[in-house]
Amino acid sequence: MTTENNNTNIIEISNLNKWYGEFQALKNINLNIKEGEIIVVCGPSGSGKSTLIRCVNFLEKFQEGEVVVDGIQLTDDAQKIRSIRSEVSMVFQHFNLFPHLSIVDNLTLGPIWVHNETKSEAREKALKLLDRVGIRDQAEKYPNQLSGGQQQRVAIARALCTSPKIMLFDEPTSALDPEMISEVLDVMVELAKEGITMICVTHEMGFARKVAQRIIFMDEGQIIEENDPETFFHHPESDRLKLFLDQILTH
């Protein structure tokens, strides 16, 4: 599945290795992602999925290997890290909204302070995005006054507010009540239609089947199998993936 044409690759990860102390969290990861591609990463907990996508915006430091995002190679250089982060947005498992700021202020923070937009244009854009995720009327409230699903939709709007080229989703629905999962997934499906590059770590196999162009299965810090959804679910090759699918799909 990997493309040889490097020009269209927006993310190139090669020979990525990461350790937490003695423990090796990522083993020799190689992954190229094309612009506009929608990738779902799944696997059992502790398999390194989150660590992998957190290396893309340098929330995690890695010891070996290369990560190139939109032509910029990740190093310790604070300037480079910031310029990558202004193109890569992230949605977290626990939303991580800023509880001391109103919803609309949560959204406008990045545009105003990182992208030097004026307050009024940032606010206008923020309200449009809130409209899109269906919570325009909650703009002046504070995060703790919203339900989990609403908070995660705000978090997605916040991530979109800086007009990123790449969106990273780190288990966006696993902290939500079952009733609220679909409202968040609906927003993500809408996004997927718009051609933004997305990497989603998720256990929502229905979502993966619906929107993913490629699904990556990880276990114990390495990529075990990657395939298009059809092959991934119906003709898994490795035994590890067969076992995993067996476990999650039988119930």
Partner 1 sequence: MAVYEQQELRKPPISQVGIVRWLRVNLFSSRVNIGLTLAALYMLYIIIPPLLNWTIFDANFNFGEFSIFGFEFGEVMATNTNCGRSAACWPFIYEKFDMFIYGFYPRDLVWRVDSVFAMTAMLFVIVRLVRNRKGSAKILLTTFVVFPIVSFYLIAGGVFGLEEVKTHQWGGLTLTLVIASVGILVSFPIGILLALGRQSNLRVISFFSTIYIEFIRAVPLITILFMASFVLPLFFTGGVDFDKLLRALIAITLFQAAYFAEVVRGGLQAIPTGQYEAADAIGLNYVQKNALIILPQALKISIPNLVGSSISLFKDTTLVLIIGLMDMLAMVNMTANDINWLGRETEGFVFVTMTMWIFLYSMSRYSRKLEVRFSTDHKN
Which run of H or E residues covers position 49? helix 49-56
Q: How far apart are CA 210 and CA 192, in angstroms?
A: 10
**Cβ atoms of 157 and 139 closer than 8 Å:** no
CA atoms in the 13 A half-sphere facing the CB of 30 = 5
- CB nearer partner 1, residue 30 or residue 86: 86
SS3 46: coil
The residue within the footprint of partner 1, chosen from 17, 30, 34, 59 (CB under 8 A), is 59
Tokens standing for 117? 């937009």
Q: Does 224 bind partner 1 (CB under 8 A)?
A: no
Residue 20 as a binder of partner 1 (CB under 8 A): the answer is: no
Contacts (CB under 8 A) with partner 1, residues 87-146: 88-90, 92, 94, 96-100, 109-110, 113-114, 141-145
Closest distance between partner 1 and the C-beta of residue 40, in Å? 20
Least distance (Å) from partner 1 to the CB of residue 154?
12
Nearer to partner 1, 52 or 97 (CB): 97
- Bridge partners, 216 (sequence order): 41, 226
Place of tokens 């998720």: 202
Q: Which is nearer to partner 1, 34 or 141 (CB)?
A: 141
The CA distances from residue 181 to 20, 158, 177, 245, in Å, are: 32, 18, 7, 21
The pair of structure tokens assigned to 239 is 């035994």
Q: How many residues make contact with partner 1 (CB under 8 A)?
A: 27
Q: Which stretch binds partner 1 (CB under 8 A): 24-32, 81-89, 204-212, 214-222?
A: 81-89
Q: Which residues bind partner 1 (CB under 8 A)?
A: 57, 59, 78, 82, 85-86, 88-90, 92, 94, 96-100, 109-110, 113-114, 141-145, 158, 162
